[in-house]
Structure 1
Amino acid sequence: MSLAKTILIIGVGPGDPDQVTIQAVKALNRLDVVFLMDKGAAKDSLIEHRREVLRRHAPDRAIRFVEAPIPERDRTGDYEAGVRDLNARKGDVFERMIAEGLKDGECGGVLVWGDPALYDSTVRIVEEIAASGRHDLEWEVIPGISSIQTLAARHRTTLNRIGRSIEVTTGRRLREAGPRADSVVVMLDAENAFAGLDDPEAYEIYWGAYVGAPEEILIAGPLAEVTNEIVRRRAAAREANGWIMDSYILRRREPDE
């Protein structure tokens, strides 16, 4: 009788190995295999971060690495259709990695940046693979410290004000709908949507890139005053590192501010 394969989806924080939770450390020490989807030479440091997490928190485990290139999203058509197609192709790749790289009874892990519940496709992909019935598969999700939590902490602020609501959205949605809450947390903004708001004087911004990592950049202030600096620093950092992960909080300013 064969033993089930186990997949652990582990949130490992946004960049600082010290932000890996005790629960995640225990999960790392169950792993026989770590699955890595390579995003090219420019993202080598992202993979190295995962390796450093393992060196620091699971030094006694003889963990194998199973790697595969990640498919690229078709950016010429409808966004949501493109994402669904990308996730389907990523699912095919990951299913092959599970079939070929993980033995019956072994435990494999996916180390997810930040928290697996925020703008990450891994949970949906593994859920679909498990539901297909093609594999004897058990799986768990271990939450992580998100870039949103780290961003607020690094700026020594809160996500919401007393009695006020917050919205978590993307740069694309911010461009389409504008801010719809007192405080708006924006992720995945590749085109500086904050710079296109009609009333920049009405907002303050808390922006951060690579939060928690050695490359961290933090800028905060009235949106109208710091927009150009953020755009400039963001472009320079992307050019220097080949990639960027950033997020920000937009907050409507009080009348006396």
Structure 2
Amino acid sequence: MIDLHLIGIGTGNPDHLTAEAVRAMNDADLILLPRKGRAKSDLIDLRCAICAAVLSGPARIVEFDLPVRDADAVYLDAVNDWHEAIAAAWAAQIALHLPDGGRLALLVWGDPSLYDSSLRIAGRLKRGGMRIRVRAVPGITSIQALTAAHAVPLNRLAGPVTITTGRMLRAHGWPEGADTVVVMLDSGCAFEVLEPGRTTIWWGAYLGMAQEALERGPLAETGPRIAARRAELRARHGWIMDVYLMRREKIDGN
């Protein structure tokens, strides 16, 4: 039996780990760390730094190469194939390092339940016949890190929040009836398709990390500044993780 803990680790800052996450890491027999290529070597370095900061138990740390998604295929088909390949990579590492079962930990950016597919991939292992128990350990999400960095509430008083992706925003525009919108997984400034109107944006990249970058203000003025800064940061670091919150001003100004 494999006891799999999917541990939310926040946005890269060891201080974001919960006490529950630290316990789960120290209780593990094996921690798997995915490599995503040289351009994203900072990401595995951050995971290694988190392990070094909190581990006091005997957990083994093993790095493995994460499969790459086919960027030229139809999106959902490519993602399904990619998840299947990741599940196979997990299974291979489990067979190699935990052949008699044990406790396995995977470190998940943010929280395993929010725009992350680790739970779905673990489900593929179950359907494939592996004897596995899955537990998710919640973590600080990039949304929480963003609102904390800007010291802004996520919602208006008693108001709803819509969480979407850059792909959906670019395809469909501002969500119908939405007041406050959070955009994740945006590969390239999807807010540029919007009529800025009286919209305010709060943007953050590398939240909680040493290179954290923040911008806020009216979308008409701040959007071009974000686009230029985002391009410069991506060129400098070879990768970028960012998220943003937008809110439209009400007619009465509230």
User: Where on the TM-score scale, by shorter chain, does this alignment land: which range?
Assistant: over 0.9
- Bigger drift between 182-191 and 65-74 goes to 65-74
Instruction: Tell me the number of residue pairs that the alignment of Structure 1 and Structure 2 aligns.
Output: 251
TM-score by length of 2: 0.94
Distance 2:227 2:170 in 1: 16
User: Where do 1:205-244 residues align within 5 Å?
Assistant: 205-244=201-240
- Show the counterpart of 2:192: 195
Distance 1:140 1:187 in 2: 24
Distance 1:137 1:77 in 2: 31
Query: Runs in 1 of length 4+ with deviation above 4 angstroms?
Result: none
- Show the counterpart of 2:98: 102
- Counterpart selection for 1:146 from 141, 146, 152: 141
Mapped contact 1:5–1:103 kept (Cα < 8 A):
no
- Bigger drift between 204-213 and 91-100 goes to 91-100
Distance 1:186 1:111 in 2: 23
- Show the counterpart of 2:164: 169
User: Which deviations, in whole Å up to 9, do the C-alpha atoms of 1:166-224 show, x marking residues without a partner?
Assistant: 11111010011122210111011112101121x21231100000011111001000000
Mapped contact 2:12–2:47 kept (Cα < 8 A):
no
The question of 1:61 aligning with 2:57 is answered yes
User: Where do 1:28-67 residues align within 5 Å?
Assistant: 28-58=25-55, 60-67=56-63
- Counterpart selection for 1:12 from 1, 9, 12: 9
Query: How large is the Cα RMSD of the aligned pairs?
Result: 1.4
Distance 1:73 1:32 in 2: 29
Aligned-pair identity in percent equals 41
1:183 alignment partner AA: T
User: Which deviations, in whole Å up to 9, do the C-alpha atoms of 1:122-179 show, x marking residues without a partner?
Assistant: 111112202332x332221101000001101111111111232111111010011122
The question of 1:71 aligning with 2:70 is answered no
**Secondary structure of 2:111 counterpart:** coil
Q: CA deviation at 1:90?
A: 1.1
- Counterpart selection for 1:85 from 81, 85, 99: 81
Mapped contact 1:8–1:140 kept (Cα < 8 A):
yes
- Show the counterpart of 1:137: 132
Distance 2:98 2:116 in 1: 22
Q: CA deviation at 1:105?
A: 4.1
- Show the counterpart of 1:245: 241
**Secondary structure of 1:200 counterpart:** coil
Mapped contact 1:204–1:251 kept (Cα < 8 A):
yes
Where does structure 2 lack aligned partners over 5 or more consecutive residues? Answer: none
Distance 1:136 1:191 in 2: 40
User: Which deviations, in whole Å up to 9, do the C-alpha atoms of 1:99-123 show, x marking residues without a partner?
Assistant: 1122424211100011011111111
Distance 2:158 2:172 in 1: 23
2:48 alignment partner AA: R
Distance 2:235 2:45 in 1: 19
1:143 alignment partner AA: P
TM-score by length of 1: 0.93
2:181 alignment partner AA: V
Distance 2:33 2:25 in 1: 14
Q: CA deviation at 1:62?
A: 2.9
Q: CA deviation at 1:41?
A: 1.2
